[in-house]
Structure 1
Amino acid sequence: MDLILGIALVLAGFYMAWNIGANDLANAMGTTVGSKSLTIKQVIVLAAVFELAGALLFGGNVTGTIAKGIVPLDLISGISEQIVAVGMLAAILAAAFWITLATFYNLPVSTTHSIVGSVLGFGLVCVFYGYITLTDIHWSVLLSIVASWFLSPVIGAVLAYLIFYIVRKKFLAKSENVPGTEKKFIWLQVATACFIAFAHGSNDVANAIGPLYAVFDMYGYNGFGPLTLAQVLLLLGAIGIVIGLSTWGYKVIDTVGSKITELTPTRGFSAQFATASVVLAHSFVGLPISTTHTLVGAVIGVGLAGGLSSVNFKVIKNIVSSWFITVPVAAITCIIIFFPLGWFFL
């Protein structure tokens, strides 16, 4: 592989990971900050430990799906390995550019949507050039991923609603000191913050390093020293994500933590526990799921438990609108980026 192309891929992967931290992990941890259970600095420390643990222990399952589950890279690499490398670089950059724009406008978008859409864009470029046909794209895998995007916020909302309903009935309604009871739930929310960082690492780090893994694995790189290739890249992705959270994550944290609905420790605990459970279950079976969709659904669920007036539907409308355009924008951007990259590298 061309040295410049290899360096560009690593830098693009790190940039994508930084974006995931600034947007995706930020919205995952936003409920903890919004309920004032932890400060941003404390969240960063917890995220650094548990994001890395989730990535190294479970991240490999989803990495394989992102890397090779959507577009038949084996067929394309048989024609030219360089085309695959350039295509994955275009996909990473396309997804990362869109997430940067969304973060600038405080919108929590799905990094999973972004990378899946951009990889699909590369697949369509290959169809255009005749390297593969439309039927070669793994539409069934793509359909299962897309289905999870619609189901995950609903499941997150229902599960969070039920958890908060039980908490409110069993603890808050029977308490003579509600503020004191809420204070006790701070420690539970700290635990769920660790849980959700672990779940996020297990699923969403793959969005940054999946395309990298596909390319370096194709060229026969097995790893560095005692670490396998997947472990090295997962480590790179996890570090980039934590840096993204610590440097720019405050913008999306503010949206999720305070603008959708008022959050207390009991509500934040309910939303986070529901989200982490759904995400980790999908990571176990290797299915990319949107942490963003699940968490926003969960926050809406606990908000609805307090009545419709407790939820800011204007903010929700803006968030959901950004969800619908993410896949086509990422795919089109990848197609646009591929041609100048192809002119330079191919």
Structure 2
Amino acid sequence: MAFAIGANDVANGMATAVGARAITVRQAALIAAFLEFLGAVMFGATVTKTIASGIVSIDHIQDPNKVIIGAISALVAATAWVLLATYYAMPVSTTHSIIGGMVGFGLVSGGARVIYWDKLWKIVLSWFVSPVVGGVLSFIVFKILAWTMLHREHPLKAAKKVAPLMIGFTFFLISFLFSLKTLKKGYAESMRYGLIFFFVVTLVSWLLVRRFSTSDKVNDEYNAVEQIFRRVQVLTSAYVCFSHGANDVANAVGPVALIMLINRTHSTSVGSVEIPKFVLFLGGLGIALGVLLYGYKVMQTIGHDITELNNTRGFSIDFGTATTVLLSSIFGFPISTTHTVVGAVTGVGLARGIEVVNIDVLKDILISWFVTVPFSAGASALTYLALTSMMHF
């Protein structure tokens, strides 16, 4: 499962940088593998709620062995779906895949009453909300960049004033998010970290951007502006990978930690689940291998196939994605980063006109999103029924 997560979700962080030619696919894979592993091992969710964000009540099952079989079934089903989607280069939500797996096991073991339907409906709603919000924000950011810099008579001169503020605000967002989501700090403390990063990064960016100089040719100035945002894009993509390793490794190792705990306590009333460090290490290793060996397929889809990207467009996508994830964290809305990135890429494409967006690729992606939970649920249910009958439960 960790391998599948690495192969599919690496595109969330690195696809825009690859698509905008800030880095090569090989460089992206190496950077992402290292940072995903580091994030998983250093800050991987040490405590996770009852499996899959409490989407299924497991207290109704008296036999702990059936919960173990259910967790294995969810992992098998989610892995099968994410690998299948990756084979066809479709970016899907790995979080929704494991949730679908848990729903399938829950339905056949205890019926509809054991599913927390209110949480499931929130997830369904997020299929529509996250790509729209990510798309709208990226569209707005790109239009702001175009209006304040790219369409000016002297783009580089304008960029020296505007770019440091945009870069500073981006680092405010990602430091605030990292503190809030990964370090689990409060809003006030996270805001303080964010503001420190904003002022420091804005000042450093201003000093560095001042050194850029070109001839008076407008094309040279455009290239200089793109160079400024190329460097920023690599940093924002690196953040997304580090944060992803820390936050999403639980999708793979959470069920494993649950199995280990039930095996030790022989009880299904587990509450929260401690994830041992060596399990996080294995999860991080799996994600890193998935990135290195199979991550290029989905990167191609998001970075190239939806629309053509350059560095200012890539920056707009990262900015829109980070803002959407931040807003969802504040309001407690379970969005998918994958869905948000795809929406953001589409939004930037639409800012230049619908004719530059590959609608056929988008249709295929949307179909894969709607299939995710039903496929994972069905595969998990069948796996659970097969295993329980084989073991004569």
1:134 to 112, 121, 130: 112
Opposite residue 290 of structure 1, the aligned amino acid is: S
The 5 Å alignment of 1:59-70 reads 59-60=44-45, 63-64=48-49, 66-67=51-52, 69-70=54-55
Give the SS at the match of 1:60. coil
Q: State the shift of 1:56 in Å.
A: 5.2
Larger radius of gyration: 2
1:243 is the counterpart of 2:289: yes
Q: Spell out, residue by residue over 1:96-131, the C-alpha distance to the aligned partner (whole angstroms, 9 max, x if none).
A: 11111111111112212211111100000112xxxx
The 5 Å alignment of 1:64-103 reads 64=49, 66-67=51-52, 69-76=54-61, 79-103=62-86
Q: Spell out, residue by residue over 1:181-230, the C-alpha distance to the aligned partner (whole angstroms, 9 max, x if none).
A: 11221101011101211332243222212222222233348xxxxxx635
* Contact 1:188 1:269 (8 Å CA) reproduced: yes
TM-score, L = length of structure 1: 0.84
1:144 is the counterpart of 2:122: yes
* Contact 1:195 1:276 (8 Å CA) reproduced: no
Opposite residue 38 of structure 1, the aligned amino acid is: I
Looking at structure 1, the residues matched to 319 and 84 of structure 2 have their Cα atoms a distance apart, in angstroms, of: 29
Tell me the matched-pair count: 318
1:209 is the counterpart of 2:194: no
Q: State the shift of 1:63 in Å.
A: 3.9
Q: State the shift of 1:170 in Å.
A: 1.8
Looking at structure 1, the residues matched to 138 and 47 of structure 2 have their Cα atoms a distance apart, in angstroms, of: 24
* Contact 1:114 1:326 (8 Å CA) reproduced: yes
Looking at structure 2, the residues matched to 287 and 209 of structure 1 have their Cα atoms a distance apart, in angstroms, of: 23
TM-score, L = length of structure 2: 0.74
The 5 Å alignment of 1:148-187 reads 148-174=126-152, 175=155, 176=218, 177-187=221-231
1:258 is the counterpart of 2:304: yes
Structure 1 unaligned regions, length at least 5: 1-15, 128-132, 222-227
Opposite residue 379 of structure 2, the aligned amino acid is: T
The 5 Å alignment of 1:231-310 reads 231-279=277-325, 282=328, 288-310=334-356
- Match of residue 109 from structure 1: 92
- Match of residue 333 from structure 1: 379
- Match of residue 234 from structure 2: 190
Q: State the shift of 1:154 in Å.
A: 1.1
* Contact 1:25 1:197 (8 Å CA) reproduced: yes
Report sequence identity in percent.
46
* Contact 2:14 2:238 (8 Å CA) reproduced: no
- Match of residue 125 from structure 1: 108
Looking at structure 2, the residues matched to 255 and 125 of structure 1 have their Cα atoms a distance apart, in angstroms, of: 36
- Match of residue 193 from structure 2: none
Opposite residue 322 of structure 2, the aligned amino acid is: A
Opposite residue 190 of structure 1, the aligned amino acid is: V
Looking at structure 2, the residues matched to 75 and 244 of structure 1 have their Cα atoms a distance apart, in angstroms, of: 36
Deviates more, 1:323-332 or 1:148-157: 148-157
* Contact 2:52 2:98 (8 Å CA) reproduced: no
Q: State the shift of 1:288 in Å.
A: 4.6
Deviates more, 1:94-103 or 1:39-48: 39-48
Cα gap change, 1:44 to 1:280, in 2 (>3 Å): farther
Structure 2 unaligned regions, length at least 5: 156-217, 266-273
Give the SS at the match of 2:59. helix
Give the SS at the match of 2:45. helix
Looking at structure 2, the residues matched to 269 and 62 of structure 1 have their Cα atoms a distance apart, in angstroms, of: 33
Cα gap change, 1:279 to 1:201, in 2 (>3 Å): farther
Q: Spell out, residue by residue over 1:291-323, the C-alpha distance to the aligned partner (whole angstroms, 9 max, x if none).
A: 210100010011111111121111101110111
Q: Spell out, residue by residue over 1:158-198, the C-alpha distance to the aligned partner (whole angstroms, 9 max, x if none).
A: 11112212222222222132122112211010111012113
